[in-house]
């Protein structure tokens, strides 16, 4: 066997290995990021920037669970603030929950301040402060968020709230693309790749998000 044949064999093996790894990643990346792992909790936390379909899903989750409160987080809305009645995603989503019939006594708005980066961590810290101001002790929450943002959000909220509060997570499908073929649309490819890189980044460098 010539050197050329050996080199060609090695190159083909590497190409086959890369293709196999790519297939494995494509097949498992979405379910890894869009994790759903709820815990027994009295509080459902909803990220306020979610689309209306996810807000509707939050109401269904709240009604079928044993929750006492639904807490809505979110910072300032960057566009249309001069025209909108509500200045933060938390206020907008909370108002949507009320408009859809949820009891106002059950809805708690947790607005977060404006920041250039670390928006999720800032929202999580605002929630932590709200929970600290509460009379009752909270031992667990379930965080409801959108598709591939779930694993990163769970990690960031758990980091902000600390080991005293267990953070479960519920992922709601993004209606803008097919989750089973996320790579076939620009929206799906963009969001899955952004979340994959962002999650890897915060885990490698132990940063916020």
Residue 25 located in a structural domain: no
Residue-wise pLDDT for 112-155, tens only, equals 998 988 899 999 999 999 998 876 789 999 999 999 999 999 99
User: pLDDT of 88-117, one tens digit each?
Assistant: 999 999 999 999 999 999 999 999 998 988
How high is the mean pLDDT of the chain? 88
Decide if 26 is inside a domain.
no
Q: Please state, in angstroms and rounded to a whole number, the distance separating the CA atoms of residues 209 and 203.
A: 10
Residue 6 lies in a domain: no
Residue 168 lies in a domain: yes
CATH number at residue 116: 3.40.50.620
Distance CA 183, CA 28 (A): 12
| 22, part of any domain | no
Does residue 13 lie within any of the structural domains? no
**Do the domain assignments include residue 18?**
no
Query: What pLDDT is stored for residue 204 in this prediction?
Result: 85
Where residue 68 falls among pLDDT bands split at 50, 70, 90?
A: very high
- Tell me which residue range forms the domain holding 117: 32-205
Nearby residues of 29 by Cβ (< 8 Å), 6 or more positions away: 192, 196
Q: How many domains does the chain have?
A: 1
Look at the block and give the residue holding tokens 């620009």. Answer: 186
User: pLDDT-derived band of residue 207, with 50, 70 and 90 as boundaries?
Assistant: low
Query: CB neighbours (10 Å) of residue 59?
Result: 17
Q: Is residue 187 part of a domain?
A: yes
Non-local (6+) Cβ contacts of 152 within 8 A are: 33, 120, 195, 198, 199, 202, 209
């Amino acid at each position: 066997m010539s050197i050329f044949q050996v080199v060609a064999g090695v190159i083909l093996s590497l190409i086959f290995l890369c293709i196999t790894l790519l297939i494995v990643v494509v097949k498992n990346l979405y379910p890894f990021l869009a994790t759903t792992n709820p815990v027994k909790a009295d509080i459902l936390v909803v990220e306020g920037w979610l689309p209306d379909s996810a807000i509707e899903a939050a109401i269904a989750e709240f009604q079928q669970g044993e929750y006492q409160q639904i807490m809505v987080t979110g910072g300032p809305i960057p566009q249309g603030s001069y025209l909108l009645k509500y200045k933060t995603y938390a206020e907008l989503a909370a108002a949507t929950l009320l408009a859809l019939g949820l009891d106002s006594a059950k809805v708690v708005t947790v607005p977060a301040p404006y920041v250039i980066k670390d928006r999720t961590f800032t929202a999580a810290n605002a929630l932590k402060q709200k929970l600290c101001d509460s009379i009752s002790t909270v031992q667990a929450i379930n965080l409801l968020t959108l598709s591939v943002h779930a694993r990163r959000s769970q990690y960031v909220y758990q980091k902000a709230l600390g080991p005293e509060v267990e953070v479960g997570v519920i992922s709601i499908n993004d209606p803008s693309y097919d989750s089973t073929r996320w790579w076939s649309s620009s929206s799906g490819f963009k969001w899955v790749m952004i979340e994959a890189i962002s999650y890897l980044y915060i885990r490698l460098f132990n940063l916020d998000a």
